[in-house]
Amino acid sequence: MFGLAIDLNKRMHGLDVARAIAISLVVFAHSLWISDFFPPVVSWLMQLSGTIGVEIFFVISGFLIGKIVLRMLEKEDFSFLAIMDFLKRRWFRTLPNYYLILFINVLLWYLIYKEIPEKLYLYFVYLQNLTQTSPDFYRVSWSLAVEQFCYIIGPFTLLVLVKLFPKANRRFLFLGMSLFMIALFFGTRIYFNATYQLTSLVDWNQSLRKVTIYRLDAIYYGFVLYYLYSRNCIAEKMNSILFVCGVLGIFILHILIFALGIQAENHPFFFNVLYLPLNSISICLTIPFLVGIKLRESLFLKWVTLLSIISYSIYLVHYTVILHAMKVLFPSNSLRGFSLFGYTFVYWVLVVVVSYFLYRFFEKPMTNIRDKKIFN
């Protein structure tokens, strides 16, 4: 399929659809940077669509990584070495692409601005947005920092709990840890709300949504979801109902925000404390149904699967590499009408093509090396 050895029968088609939607929402949101002449309603939708897209990725990641962590926890040989093996595999999946695109970003930044980005060293250890948002350089890296910290904090917290409570049910430890993390980082947003005065949705994006210490709960919703799913706490006949509730929840939430004129600066508690968890919970409701979906082989399924598979590459290159370079070479701020549509279309095509080649000739070979267990 598209020159890639992919067995469609082994894919989770529903999750592939969700990933394809998520990455499309993110690229759609960042297309707002192309021009100042998108209609106001479209601009508002574009701003929030990126948020929804990233939250979908967080929940899916939590669900799938939660499965791996729980299975690792239940084994008798769960230990520091087991966690390091888990991290080694995760890092070999994520770090090569991350560092390659980091290098390209540095090169591009230097060619354009004739300077090296400030505090570049922080990006090598994912500390660029630990307590404050990262600067304009390599903007998309913020969510990767959130995921990396979750990969580290969760398993090592479980290791401590196993040492402290060796006879405790490990599944309950997994659930307790996940709920504690959600409560803890929910609390950090309450603290933020009490100590910071928002000025706009952009300010909220930069000061809270993209800061690691306020966002770590996002992935642990997926952990809790996997626990409930693995324990058959969710009746299969309820999956479709929950899916509809989840989709309606997302739509109704944003319709109400728009209809009631809820703004970040006027309703800070809603945006700081409630908005992101409501999205996460709504997305969680859709996952059990999506996990069970199997689609017939078709051109639609092939394209959805392709977008899902290359979504990590798309995420890394679409904004600070491709769009940044395009805007420097072909300024677009004043475009409107057909010219704006054409520029946006070319941008989207370039994103898919470049990401496909990045995946095929770099990301996939790197994961192949990992899967050969050279490092075991």
Average pLDDT over residues 147-161: 96
pLDDT at 22 (0 to 100): 97
pLDDT at 1 (0 to 100): 58
How many Å is the maximal CA-CA distance in the chain?
Answer: 67
Q: 11 pLDDT exceeds 90?
A: no
Average pLDDT over residues 51-72: 96
- State the angle between helix axes of 170-195 and 217-230 in degrees (0 to 180), rounded to the nearest 10: 150
Q: Both tokens of residue 125?
A: 């250890």
From the number of C-beta atoms within 10 Å of its C-beta (0-12, 13-18, 19+), residue 350 rates as middle
Instruction: Specify the residue for token string 């709920």.
Output: 179
Write out pLDDT tens, residues 112-138.
999 999 899 999 999 999 998 877 899
CA distance from start to end of the chain: 31
**Of the ranges 31-40, 104-113, 283-292, 333-342, which one carries the lowest mean pLDDT score?**
31-40
Say if residues 108 and 321 touch (Cβ distance below 8 Å): yes
Say if residues 214 and 188 touch (Cβ distance below 8 Å): yes
Count CB neighbours of 134 within 10 A.
Answer: 24
Model confidence at 242, pLDDT cuts 50, 70, 90, reads: very high
Rounded-to-5 percentages of helix, strand, coil across the chain = 75, 0, 25
Distance CA 27, CA 352 (A): 10
**Of the ranges 151-155, 262-266, 357-361, which one carries the lowest mean pLDDT score?**
262-266
pLDDT at 228 (0 to 100): 94
Distance CA 349, CA 272 (A): 35
Average pLDDT over residues 190-217: 93
pLDDT at 261 (0 to 100): 85
- Of 207, 229, 366, 365, the closest CA to residue 285 belongs to 229
Average pLDDT over residues 29-40: 82
Count CB neighbours of 72 within 10 A.
Answer: 17
Q: How far is CA 228 from CA 175, 178, 217, 288, 369, in A?
A: 9, 12, 17, 10, 34
pLDDT at 134 (0 to 100): 74
Distance CA 269, CA 7 (A): 46
Q: 194 pLDDT exceeds 70?
A: yes
Average pLDDT over residues 132-146: 90
Q: 2 pLDDT exceeds 70?
A: no
pTM: 0.94
pLDDT at 373 (0 to 100): 58
Task: Classify 79 as helix, strand or coil.
Answer: coil
Say if residues 206 and 133 touch (Cβ distance below 8 Å): yes
Write down the mean pLDDT value for the chain: 91
CA dihedral 329, 126, 174, 279 (to 10 degrees): -40
Q: How far is CA 100 from CA 143, 286, 305, in A?
A: 17, 34, 24
Say if residues 224 and 178 touch (Cβ distance below 8 Å): yes
Q: 366 pLDDT exceeds 60?
A: yes
Distance CA 259, CA 269 (A): 18
Q: 343 pLDDT exceeds 60?
A: yes
pLDDT at 41 (0 to 100): 72
Write out pLDDT tens, residues 290-327.
998 888 888 888 899 999 999 999 999 999 999 999 99
Count CB neighbours of 67 within 10 A.
Answer: 16
pLDDT at 3 (0 to 100): 64
Q: How far is CA 362 from CA 75, 315, 316, 365, 374, in A?
A: 33, 15, 13, 5, 17
DSSP letter (8 states) at residue 31: G
